[in-house]
Structure 1
Amino acid sequence: MPGASTAPTETPQPSRGATITPALLVTLALLSAVAPFATDLYLPAFPMMVSQLHTTAAGVQLTLTAFLIGLALGQLLFGPLSDRFGRVKPLVVGAVVCVVASAVTVFAPTVEILVAARFAQGFAGAAGMVIGRAIISDLATGKAAARAFSLMMIVGGIAPVVAPLAGGFLVGPIGWRGALAVILGLSTAMLLAVLAVVRETHTEHRRAALRAEKTTAGSPLTSLMSRAYLGNTAAFAFAFAAMMAYISASPFIYQTMMGLSAGQYGAMFGMNATALLAMSALSAKLAYRYEVHHLAAVGLGLISVSSVAVLTVALTGTAAGWLAIPLLTLVGGMGLIFGNVTALALSAAPRAAGTASAVLGASQFLLAAVVSPLVSIAGENTAVPVGIILVSTSAIACLGLLAAGNRRPQTT
């Protein structure tokens, strides 16, 4: 059966004995989980922050926007740095700065200082996300990488489920500063885990070999312009945009349109997230038997059909309750996409894994930032805008995977 990866087999390998251990996988997953915790944990405290910081709702919202912008831009810095200087040093620097910035957010006396600290927190915290993906790309390609990314997503995917629920319980007794202190504790734990578990995978020997190879094979960055990398990156980014469209619209769909309570909304959101985790686990298991691009294609087909169903229900005026079914299959289908397409994209640029991971992550969050506000452009009582966005983004994601031409023999 034809394979899925376009990675050249002659790429220099990491130091002898390097492998993706369970401890390393959990550590990298926790690094990627800091962002959703830092995003969602303090959201229930927004009204309280307006009063205590003597600011406006827009001012408090800016603390979230600044964090997301920092998260996108930070990946563009730390990814290339990790290609040049190795993975561990930039990762430790980013983790240390993230801890310091997190401490400033807890004690920020004004909203202006809080916004600046949140930007720094996101910028430095991006190191964990981008370098974590690069480390896996150093150690595995093809099916092995797809399995690792899918397993990492299971651990990291718990965060978006837990964070909103935990925030709702914590904000009342400990306030918004207490919620930010929890994020500080998580950042500190991540730093300690990095120091204890992560070892260099992009060694000086490996970097020297890549520099020598540059004279004959050209710049490693040329692989970022390949059809395989661009196509798979587009598939990943637009699939993630569909996911963010769902997340942004979900409060209006479940509460305003379906009439569910806040608790029932949390239960529905959690059920969908559980489907995502279950499909990620299934994807990791199926990666042993099936080609990576075939699994990704099934996932993209599933979200495309689900997206059409959402738009059909919205346009025909069918009872809003029917939206629950395609939204469940939409989110579940993402479990077959994210880990597999990430592996495909990074396997297409093995000589510049850090930079490739940076572009992948930055495009993911920047596109999500564009899509999210559009879901409520026609008001909170219609799902037509989110249906249009879901159909459009899933279609582009499918075209991206098709354009990538994932047909070469697979390496592991």
Structure 2
Amino acid sequence: MLITVLGLLSVFPPFALDMYLPAFLPIGRDLRASATGVQLTITGLLLGMAAGQFAAGLLSERFGRRTPLLVCLALCTAAGALCAIAPTIGVLVAARFVQGLTGSAGIVIGRAIVSDTARGREAARIFGLLMGILGVATVVAPLAGGVLTGLVGWRGVFTALALLSLLMFLAALVAIPDTLPEHRRGAGTARVVRGLLLDRGFLGYALAFALAFGALMAYVAASPFVLPNLLGLSTATFSLAYALNALGLLIVSTLNARLVYRFSPHRLLRTGLAILFVAAAALAVLSLTGRLTEATCLPLLLVAVSSLGLVLGNACALALGRAPEAAGAASGLIGTLQYAFGALVAPAAGVRGDRSALPMALIMGACALLALVAPAFMKGSPAARPGRSRVFED
């Protein structure tokens, strides 16, 4: 039951990001906004998530897991309702920022709860399962968004997001316990954050996670323009291609939950990043040579997105495994890095999106390469604190 509810909390980012992608053009038309203006609704959401995850992580260390979660989800529901009635693009961007700021509490506190209750390979298994649930959400979100946009318009999509936030609040109210003991609350928050920032091992895996998420956001932000405008895909075909890529992520994430008992999460992480880099490099070469077609682009995107099933869950588990005694703060810091990178790359990936896939491919490849290098921060890191498993990391 607990994992099911944690899975529900983790679906907010893909639904908030992906569900309204098919409505980009209607939003721009109705609110008289440019493509860049509409993309700012992604940036506003991601910046809100970046700030909100760090704040929620610290609040969960000070006041426990349950109370901050419930307050944030209630505010997220209100922000979703404001998105649905936004009269201008500026109001929509601002409401999306608040939606991200408060809605991010679900995923960051959910990660902390997993870290409170599981360690090592078991934690990696649970994170892999949550990634699988996230993959299902990523499959459903654009398809549901496409249907809702046709039936009730883009405002109906945001109404559905507000109802999802309300459902998350009710589920958390009923099923989420407070897994942080009273004696561990509120002590030395500044010291804990400083310790995390000085732990090069934690930072290495946290950066790998954030960079991999940056690659995913480059794809999310650019694909609504690259696939229909450059490759000529219809809205229905785009939604199908997007869903197939998400299905690939789901399958690999589910497989990863089994593989962590045969191979170390660190090895699986490196394998996924290597596959992502090769696929992105091939996309870049085909774009430069003018040979990028539907037949070459779609399979490469499928491989690139699917490879993240070996990356995100393992990187998160490895990073949190470095700080079992400060899971809330660590989870918040990971989330801040994650969505800060996403907010930075989303607008850049959409540059010339109607004429070239090169910016998207270059950003995805650069993120993969840097993420491969990031765990080198492990070298010279402080000695493992109690609760860490070197076998788990090696």
Match of 1:293 among 266, 277, 290: 266
Partner of 1:304: 277
Q: Indicate yes or no: 2:391 matched with 1:409.
A: yes
Summarize the Cα distance change of 1:170–1:83 in structure 2 as closer, same or farther, 3 Å threshold. same
Q: Indicate yes or no: 2:155 matched with 1:147.
A: no
1:77-116 superposed matches below 5 A? 77-108=55-86, 113-116=91-94
Match of 1:387 among 361, 376, 387: 361
CA–CA distance in 2 between the matches of 1:94 and 1:403?
34
Partner of 1:338: 312
CA–CA distance in 1 between the matches of 2:353 and 2:44?
25
> What one-letter code is carried by the residue in structure 2 that aligns with 1:70?
G
Task: Give 1:356 shift.
Answer: 1.3
Partner of 2:222: 249
Q: Indicate yes or no: 2:111 matched with 1:133.
A: yes
CA–CA distance in 2 between the matches of 1:44 and 1:195?
32
Cα contact 1:221–1:352 (8 A) shared by 2: no
Instruction: Please state whether the residue corresponding to 1:382 is helix, strand or coil.
Output: coil
**Residue deviations 1:267-293, cap 9 Å, x none?**
222221111100000000111222111
Match of 2:246 among 273, 282, 286: 273
CA–CA distance in 1 between the matches of 2:92 and 2:302?
36
**Residue deviations 1:170-191, cap 9 Å, x none?**
1233233322221121111101
Cα contact 1:224–1:349 (8 A) shared by 2: no
Partner of 1:396: 370
Cα contact 1:239–1:393 (8 A) shared by 2: yes
Summarize the Cα distance change of 1:342–1:191 in structure 2 as closer, same or farther, 3 Å threshold. same
CA–CA distance in 2 between the matches of 1:125 and 1:271?
26
CA–CA distance in 1 between the matches of 2:39 and 2:221?
14
1:108-257 superposed matches below 5 A? 108=86, 113-207=91-185, 211=187, 219=192, 221-257=194-230
Calculate the aligned-residue CA RMSD, in Å: 2.6
CA–CA distance in 1 between the matches of 2:69 and 2:292?
49
CA–CA distance in 1 between the matches of 2:154 and 2:340?
27
Cα contact 1:220–1:351 (8 A) shared by 2: no
CA–CA distance in 2 between the matches of 1:49 and 1:200?
40
CA–CA distance in 1 between the matches of 2:44 and 2:372?
31
Task: Give 1:314 shift.
Answer: 2.2
Q: Indicate yes or no: 2:311 matched with 1:329.
A: no
Task: Give 1:325 shift.
Answer: 2.8
Task: Give 1:100 shift.
Answer: 2.6
Structure 1 stretches lacking a partner, 5+ long: 1-22
TM-score (norm 1): 0.84
Instruction: Please state whether the residue corresponding to 1:409 is helix, strand or coil.
Output: helix
Summarize the Cα distance change of 1:391–1:88 in structure 2 as closer, same or farther, 3 Å threshold. same
Match of 1:71 among 38, 46, 49: 49
Task: Give 1:95 shift.
Answer: 1.2
Partner of 1:14: none
Partner of 1:357: 331
Summarize the Cα distance change of 1:348–1:140 in structure 2 as closer, same or farther, 3 Å threshold. same
Cα contact 2:202–2:320 (8 A) shared by 1: yes
Deviates more, 1:351-360 or 1:190-199: 351-360
Structure 2 stretches lacking a partner, 5+ long: 382-388
Cα contact 2:39–2:221 (8 A) shared by 1: no
Deviates more, 1:128-137 or 1:317-326: 317-326
**Residue deviations 1:349-382, cap 9 Å, x none?**
2222112111211111111121122234355333
- Using the aligned pairs only, state the percent identity: 43
Count of equivalent residues: 381
Deviates more, 1:295-304 or 1:44-53: 44-53
**Residue deviations 1:43-71, cap 9 Å, x none?**
44455556666x54466655444333222
> What one-letter code is carried by the residue in structure 2 that aligns with 1:315?
L
CA–CA distance in 1 between the matches of 2:50 and 2:224?
25
Instruction: Please state whether the residue corresponding to 2:50 is helix, strand or coil.
Output: helix
CA–CA distance in 1 between the matches of 2:47 and 2:267?
33
